[in-house]
Structure 1
């Protein structure tokens, strides 16, 4: 299923790409979300705002079968084959499927509750859940299962699990909360299967249900996470609701005043509206202070100066942003030719 869905994603991405050869080469390490977001969305990727605003909870079940690059698919495929073979020997096909599914659900719900990224996908949560259950079976399982698993080492399994979690801490873009959620679900379910006493089985099964239910409850409205406001704010912008987006960005900024992304987002929306331009300039400069070569932040500052009537300064900053940017983005292409006339007054509206 993972291979088939990746093939569909790959072919559909190539079909809509202006440069299929370049897209095919880049797909080895990344199917650009710019090219593939809508495809991932249609196939069932966990797009967090779709759960929060549209009630599309089914995505937590489908996202574990999707992958963002050929490398992502190959690495997860090798791990799934390696771990899954031993899980099947220990518990059979049905339990192998159930273990992967529940661990994948645990990972998806943990990513939702932690507001990990606007879109989360991949089989790694399910794989880590299987690895955790397998480690328990090899370490404390009944003798019949330990005999089947004799060729593998519990210590080696533990080291591999720790390496995966360590990579999640070091490599940007890895869904670490999803890894932990999947591992926790797998450990609880595996523990219930290897436990000898009925009350232990029942306790661990109840703990698994509480884990999944608690993560779902937290993930429904994770207002404890500032990233929640950022993800919802950008969804509001995509849906053409800038006033609602500004409210969300301001709430996020109240909770995390030092967050450069929120500073930039609020500054940019104020600049678009042509209101509170002094505050917008202050926020944009603060966002740039720790990251003065960020092309998006430079674009915001340039556009603010254009809106203030400082066309020469604004144009220079916009050209600098264009020179720094690895890929030109539409807003920058609109701002460069429009800077000279941007100071024309816009219709003010009430701001939050």
Structure 2
């Protein structure tokens, strides 16, 4: 085919544009030789959604030869298409269809030609072979009549109505002009291996090791408990919105609830990271991880129940997958783009479906959706602002700024976690507390328990109850006030506030016996509305200290 647009027929020019812009390949497979002999040009496309063959008939041949008379019938085309099914891609083990499109170019859409194409048209059916017809008539006075097809949905088909009409109405492009319009190949030339992707996976693995070390005494297995996850930065609405711990929107993305949780996220992160690290560069990969993590956390805060504790890099990873899916539009149409988008979609779409997991663990679909939405919006912005003359998207400084902000947020989170002073490790084993909470434990055993676990409010509460029974109200008051002083342990390890209510109730009783009603009233005030319907808890309502004096 000539690259000089003035010397080309419309068919030759169309073929050149389809090859350069839409991923088609000139030529045919051996099984389509009969089809190729009946037309002027054959183009093929394997875009991950099917195997397509365009059969072009030139009605304005520059060599002066007469237009071809297409004689193949629908059964002939079905037979040819069925022989080509071996080249069609598969999805979930099933072969995708073969499509044959017959294009009459530079020909009027006469009733006879329309009737012949309509007779050839068919849906894939059991044979998985579809046949469609096109007529391109650039001389039609009505622009809407320049493209006629048997496909009722051709506006969204490949290559699409808008592209065809633009190609027919716009000045022809030379090979050099076409190359300039397509721009340089996308991808950061400095990225030869996914070093940042592996670094993130390694960091998440190390952090999971920290989770196991930070578990309460006596913990077994290879998964952290809820208290550990909360103390290390798990996302909980009350701690964020009421406690002001907004750093949890980032720290939660670094934690995982089980080895399987970490493994599955690591695989998905690798799939998205390998693509994005090369396509967008490392700066944008890191920035999109932050954007996805924040999007997932904020959506979780907005939708999830207030008591739910959420952890995992899923929101960030969904953001990466969605960003890769959308920003891959910068790649030229064809197998490369389809491969990337197909791979991302196969992971992303099932992750957004609210189905129960096989293990029974709860999946935070709000975080998945929020991360995917944030990533898709960011990917769309990158794609639309991408200069075709640059291999990577614009805004590297913006990406570095987002990454820096994320790192500062994580540093704030590390400081916030440090302030908890190891809440999980401050808690005594439940069985050890239960053994001594019978009311018959000797004082020496209770004293030893307090010395070992001085920050555990439950331990203090058990000894306070024993001291009251031993007629030692002063000692009981000391223990109960020490329990309330561990505010972070109470808020983080006992978020339902039932333990705090019991401690304050018992302390109010001790004070009431001394006639210190005003102080007793002040002690119970913080929990006076923590009962059902915002009323006073049952034990406190019996004391009467939550009522107005």
Match of 1:17 among 214, 217, 240: 217
Q: TM-score, normalised by structure 2?
A: 0.36
* Partners of 1:237 and 1:245 within 8 A in 2: no
The equivalent position to 2:330 in structure 1, one of 139, 142, 154, is 142
Tell me what 1:88 maps to. 277
1:103 aligns with 2:305: no
Larger Rg: 2
1:44 aligns with 2:326: no
Q: Does 1:154 align with 2:341?
A: yes
Equivalent position to 1:66, from 235, 249, 255:
255
Question: Is the CA contact (8 Å cut-off) linking 1:66 and 1:123 kept in structure 2?
Answer: yes
Structure with the bigger RCO (C-alpha within 8 Å, sep 6+) is 1
Greater strand share, 1 or 2? Answer: 2
- List runs of 5+ in structure 1 lacking aligned partners: 210-230, 253-265, 276-346
For 1:53, which of 230, 236, 242 is the aligned residue? 242
Secondary structure, counterpart of 1:195 in structure 2: helix
TM-fit CA distance, 1:152: 2.3
Which residue does the alignment assign to 1:3?
205
Looking at structure 2, the residues matched to 98 and 32 of structure 1 have their Cα atoms a distance apart, in angstroms, of 30
- Segments of structure 2 that go 5 or more residues without pairing to the other structure are 1-202, 388-393, 403-491, 505-523
Question: Which protein has the bigger helix share?
Answer: 1
Map Cα deviations across residues 42-63 of structure 1 (whole Å, 9 max, x no partner): 4322232222232111111221
The within-5 A match list for 1:231-242 is 234-237=495-498, 239-240=500-501
Correspondence 1:306-325 to 2 at 5 A: none
For the residue of structure 2 that corresponds to 1:174, the secondary structure is coil
Q: Distance in 2 between matches of 1:76 and 1:235?
A: 30
Quote how far apart the aligned CAs of 1:96 are.
Answer: 0.5
Give the 3 Å change call, closer, same or farther, for CA 89–190 of structure 1 in structure 2: same
Indicate which of 25, 28, 32 corresponds to 2:225. 32
- Per-residue deviation, 1:82: 1.4
C-alpha deviation, 1:102, in angstroms? 0.8
Aligned CA-pair RMSD: 3.5
Deviations 1:265-309 (A, max 9, x none): x79x32x3465xxxxxxxxxxxxxxxxxxxxxxxxxxxxxxxxxx
Distance in 1 of aligned mates of 2:547 and 2:256: 41
* C-alpha distance in 1 between matches for 2:499 and 2:346: 43
Residue 234 to residue 32, structure 1, CA distance change in 2 (3 Å):
closer
Contact 1:49 1:118 in 2 (8 A): no
1:73 to 1:172, Cα distance in 2 relative to 1, 3 A: closer
Pairing partner for 1:78 from 255, 262, 267:
267
Q: Aligned ranges for residues 300-311 of structure 1 at < 5 Å?
A: none
Map 1:110-189 to 2 at 5 A. 110-116=299-305, 117-138=307-328, 141-143=329-331, 149-150=336-337, 152-167=339-354, 173-189=362-378
How many angstroms does 1:12 deviate by? 2.3
Q: Tell me the alpha carbon deviations over residues 114-143 of structure 1, each in whole angstroms, 9 at most, x when there is no partner.
A: 2444421100000101111111123xx223
- Go from structure 1 to structure 2 and tell me whether the alpha carbon gap of 1:166 and 1:60 turns closer, same or farther (over 3 Å shift): same
CA offsets 1:39-94 (integer angstroms, 9 cap, x no match): 33443222322222321111112210111111111111111111111111210111
Q: Distance in 1 between matches of 2:250 and 2:276?
A: 21
Aligned residue pairs, count: 221
Distance 2:317 2:355 in 1: 14
Q: Are the equivalent residues in 2 in contact too, given 1:5–1:66 (CA < 8 A)?
A: yes
Contact 2:275 2:340 in 1 (8 A): no
SS in 2 for 1:152: helix
Question: How far 1:181 sits from its partner (Å)?
Answer: 0.9
Cα separation, partners in 2 of 1:245 and 1:274, compared to 1, 3 Å:
closer
Q: Does 1:349 align with 2:545?
A: yes
Structure 1 residue ranges (4+ consecutive) displaced by more than 6 angstroms after TM superposition: none
Contact 1:135 1:154 in 2 (8 A): yes
Find the aligned partners of 1:62 and 1:149 in 2 and give their Cα distance.
35
Q: Deviations over 1:172-215 (max 9, x none)?
A: 521121111111100010000011589xx99xx9xxx9xxxxxx
CA distance 1:350–1:122, shift in 2 (3 Å): same
Measured in 2, the distance between the counterparts of 1:156 and 1:82 equals 8
